[in-house]
Amino acid sequence: MSSYRKRIVVIGHGMVGHRFVEAAIERGLTETYDIVILGEEPRAAYDRVALTSYYEVGDKALSFLPSGKYADPRVSLELNAKAVAVSPRARIITLEDGRQVEYDELVLATGAYPFVPPVAGKDLENVFVYRTIEDLIAIKKAAKKAKTGVVIGGGLLGLEAANAVKQLGLETHVVELAPRLMAVQIDSGAGKTLSREIENLGLTVHTGAMTEAILGTKGKVSGLALKDRATLNADIVVFSAGIRPQDALGRAADLEIAERGGILVDEHCRTSEEHIWAIGECAAPNGKMYGLVAPGYQMAEVVVDSMLGGEGTFEGADMSTKLKLLGVDVASFGDAHAETPGSLELVYSDAVAGIYKKLVISEDGKRLLGGVLVGDASAYGILRPMVASGLPLPDNPEDLILPAGSGGLSKMELPDEAVVCSCNNVTKGQIKGAADNGCTTQADVTKETKAGSTCGSCKVQVKKIIEDHFAAQGVVVDKSLCEHFPMTRAELFDVVLVHGYRSFNEIIEAHGKGRGCDICKPAVASILASQLNSHVLDQGNRQLQDTNDAYLGNLQKNGTYSVVPRIAGGEITPEGLIAIGEVAKDFGLYTKITGGQRIDLFGARLEQLPAVWKRLVDAGFESGHAYGKSLRTVKSCVGSTWCRYGQQDSVAMAIELELRYRGLRSPHKLKGGVSGCARECAEARGKDFGIIATTNGWNLYVGGNGGAIPAHAQLLAEDLSDEDLRKYLDRFLMFYIRTADRLQRTSTWLDSLEGGMDYLRQVVIEDSLGIAEELERAMASHIDSYFDEWKATIEDPEKVRRFMSFVNAPETPDPNISFGTTRGQIVPEESAGPVSLGMPQIGASL
């Protein structure tokens, strides 16, 4: 070499070789070295992990280097360049075409080749392996004239290959020698579930099946002879029976080879020869070969680091995997086979749903060691980091794998790797990182990371992560309601109560600044409403209300409203049903039975609301408050009146409670349920308060209805009399209304109470704070002052005045609202932009 610059040669341009070059450029290795890459394949590195998607997306989408060149001019890539010999002494590589290349440092990244067992007939036409894009092109060509395909090998790659063969429209068989699929990663229970799910997709799985010979006619494949089983017909055969390290160059150069193949390297990925390194599947650190791409990437980074004089070492790799095979979730992590002495296994299996989950737990039951998930791998994001971080298991580890709704996961301290926003794939660590970079509110973090910007269901969780993060750092967390009020909702509630304020203006002048906003105004409105119970549309109240309360209807996506009359406990007369039906028919509304045993009427225009409600009020209905942060429904089952199992009259109790608490404004909407016996037909434990009848009275549960994070209500008190039930419920609801955060559900409020359920029980039942009487009095005052706000609205022209389409054209309906039809009823149609009506003859010109 004449140049004073040194040269690194990389043999192999697969995923790992490419990663090495990228890391070398990124970390400045090319400041001192030129890099030459020799690739044997005709194309530059591509995403082999996603190989199966080649049929859908093509080779361009898979390529890591579509231009065929690296941006750094000191890196050159030679394709179709097969190295056949290396001379470590002379530091020279010889290519197949006779050319020679000198090197200062040599990196072997030659990968692996597919293993084809020595079976008779393996050289017949239409026998393939599954490794390169060229293989896939050949399989596709042969598949055009084929009906049946057989994949030999039921490991990860074999199932990928089977997926590809199925995609090509062939009847597909998977033949696996081991007694289960994916024998390396998963246990027999998981294997059974996986087999069943894959068979449901139309593939045939043969496990414990040994291939004796590949049969052929006229030089082409015709079938597969299996030991002790019927012969399978096959037009194509794909081998996916494992891979072997591509270590031939290393052997020829007399490098030390591991016992089971692969070039032996130390923790820096150095081979037995100075200046030669090996990374990826051709290498065997500590004698062990890794058939996954992630460890190969780690090795590439380690070598770059070493060449720069760094200390990085390769210490073995996490072999956890999560993937979707043929649409079935499969994940395996940590000690999946329970090889740790004394380890315990916890298994949840639902054969009907195709779900199998196993946790491997340490002997003392305190740590998670590993696990297997088939059919539902949603917990992988939380469980795998738990293994790595050594986070202590919760008291009931089964909650981690039981179906959602059992509450275990929601109460866990999540590891940083856990995905919080699944719409945008944002982890807890990224959210904390955003907080460290200056974001102080959930809104800031959402802007920065996109967490919560799509469906929004994780916003509350994002907020809590930020608060906990700052609290952990000893930073005083600003719990201000918004920029206008430097206090929490609970504090503001007390301020209003103590001073006896009756209007927003009084409150903001005395305790806030500015004119308020869309956060504090509805919060103050709710606080005033639960203390005064005046009409939400009174002067001074109505500009505080969110649109639902401002127009006493539930705003839907096209700007129309839904109307929900109260049907307490779900009990309704035939006359009532007919009246609702007639109103819906006359106004052309969409009707649907709600989840809370009522009837929703959708699609009412703003200006139609008073007329719709006039009809409903005349028919004896009142507001169902479906629009408010308020009590919605108390659901009931049939109860002891009709049901042969009923213990108590759940219908009467549900009606009584719904009427007792109707109109009650609260930090979040509230729902209740009353079941007449433990069969729980009213699903009462999914509610903010749930009541289940016993032979001795009522069991009271609170804090269910977690919204995006499902939560079951927990037992507050048992075997209550009617009177005690009302008393405890009054106290519970008022205590929640006074102390919860804005938009905080009962479940998260209960979680946030220091002392949790025990503390709540002390307050509500033992009256530890001495406020029970006051809470009851506050509820009594609410009950006494209840009136139907829709009836009051339609009787007051001043209030009705505001229900109009246009202030200067009250008879003209909004042209932006239009409807289509689905299943015989109206559906909203999206308007594309502001709609113009042309030039109407209205108003006077100036």
Partner 1 sequence: MTLDPTRQMIEICPVDAIDVETGVAALVHGEAVAVFRTYAGDVFALSNYDPFSHASVLSRGIVGTRTVDGESVDFVASPIYKEAFDLRTGICLDKPEVSIAAYEVVVREGVVYVGSVKAVVEE
Residue 430 beta carbon to partner 1: minimum distance, rounded to whole angstroms: 21
Q: According to the binding rule CB under 8 A, does residue 547 interact with partner 1?
A: yes
Q: Cβ closer to partner 1: 271 or 545?
A: 545
CA 360 from centroid of its chain's CA atoms: 23
Residue bearing tokens 């005052």: 781
Q: Cβ closer to partner 1: 316 or 810?
A: 810
SS (H, E, C) 139-201: HHHHHCCCCEEEEECCCHHHHHHHHHHHHCCCEEEEEECCCCCCCCCCCHHHHHHHHHHHHHC
In 3-state terms, what secondary structure has residue 383? helix
Q: According to the binding rule CB under 8 A, does residue 557 interact with partner 1?
A: yes
Q: According to the binding rule CB under 8 A, does residue 515 interact with partner 1?
A: yes
In the structure encoding, which two tokens stand for residue 301, read together?
A: 């980074």
CA distances (Å), origin 828, targets 629, 651, 805, 837 = 25, 35, 17, 20
Q: Which stretch binds partner 1 (CB under 8 A): 192-200, 546-554, 571-579, 764-772?
A: 546-554
Site string for partner 1, 13-42 (x = CB under 8 A): ------------------------------
**CA dist., res. 800 & res. 793, Å (int):** 6
Residue 516 beta carbon to partner 1: minimum distance, rounded to whole angstroms: 5
In the structure encoding, which two tokens stand for residue 664, read together?
A: 């009650």
Q: Cβ closer to partner 1: 510 or 842?
A: 842
Q: Cβ closer to partner 1: 246 or 446?
A: 446
Residue bearing tokens 């967490």: 451
Residue 605 beta carbon to partner 1: minimum distance, rounded to whole angstroms: 11
Q: According to the binding rule CB under 8 A, does residue 809 interact with partner 1?
A: yes
Among 21, 236, 481, 550, binds partner 1 (CB under 8 A): 550
Q: Which stretch binds partner 1 (CB under 8 A): 9-17, 255-263, 373-381, 550-558?
A: 550-558
CA distances (Å), origin 333, targets 191, 297, 322, 323, 515 = 15, 19, 8, 12, 54
H/E stretch holding 827 reads strand 825-829
Q: Cβ closer to partner 1: 213 or 555?
A: 555
Q: According to the binding rule CB under 8 A, does residue 539 interact with partner 1?
A: yes
Residue 677 assigned ligand-binding role: yes
Among 461, 526, 558, 705, binds partner 1 (CB under 8 A): 558
CA-only gyration radius of the chain, Å: 35
Site string for partner 1, 438-467 (x = CB under 8 A): -----x---x--------------------
Residue 455 assigned ligand-binding role: no
Please classify residue 346 by burial: count the beta carbons closer than 10 Å to its beta carbon, then call 0-12 exposed, 13-18 middle and 19+ buried: middle
Residue 101 beta carbon to partner 1: minimum distance, rounded to whole angstroms: 52
Among 375, 516, 596, 628, binds partner 1 (CB under 8 A): 516
Q: According to the binding rule CB under 8 A, does residue 844 interact with partner 1?
A: yes
CA distances (Å), origin 411, targets 360, 400, 408, 781 = 21, 10, 6, 36
Q: According to the binding rule CB under 8 A, does residue 514 interact with partner 1?
A: yes
Residue 637 assigned ligand-binding role: yes
Residue 519 beta carbon to partner 1: minimum distance, rounded to whole angstroms: 8
Among 555, 619, 638, 771, binds partner 1 (CB under 8 A): 555
Q: Cβ closer to partner 1: 129 or 523?
A: 523
Among 460, 544, 584, 631, binds partner 1 (CB under 8 A): 544
State the pairing for strand pair 328-334/321-325.
antiparallel
CA 540 from centroid of its chain's CA atoms: 42
Q: For partner 1, how many residues bind (rule: CB under 8 A)?
A: 52
**CA dist., res. 246 & res. 467, Å (int):** 52
Residue 604 beta carbon to partner 1: minimum distance, rounded to whole angstroms: 14
Site string for partner 1, 587-626 (x = CB under 8 A): -------------------x--------------------
Task: Categorise residue 693: left if φ over 0, alpha if ψ from -120 to 50, beta otherwise.
Answer: beta
Site string for partner 1, 206-245 (x = CB under 8 A): ----------------------------------------
Residues 6+ apart with CB under 8 A from 787: 535, 663
Residues 6+ apart with CB under 8 A from 554: 548, 561, 562, 564, 626, 627
Q: Give residues 820-839 in contact with partner 1 (rule: CB under 8 A).
A: 830-839
Among 546, 571, 724, 788, binds partner 1 (CB under 8 A): 546
Residue 463 beta carbon to partner 1: minimum distance, rounded to whole angstroms: 15
In 3-state terms, what secondary structure has residue 367? strand
DSSP 502-556: -SHHHHHHHH--TT--TTHHHHHHHHHHHHH---TTSTTTGGGS-HHHHTTSEE-
Residue 517, CB half-sphere, CA atoms under 13 Å: how many?
A: 9
Contact indicator for 412, 468 with CB cutoff of 8 Å: no
Q: Cβ closer to partner 1: 188 or 816?
A: 816
Q: Cβ closer to partner 1: 193 or 541?
A: 541
Among 230, 472, 498, 846, binds partner 1 (CB under 8 A): 846
Residues marked as binding for siroheme?
A: 681
Q: Which residues bind partner 1 (CB under 8 A)?
A: 443, 447, 483-484, 514-518, 521-522, 539, 542-547, 550-551, 555, 557-559, 606, 802, 805-809, 812, 814-817, 830-840, 842-846
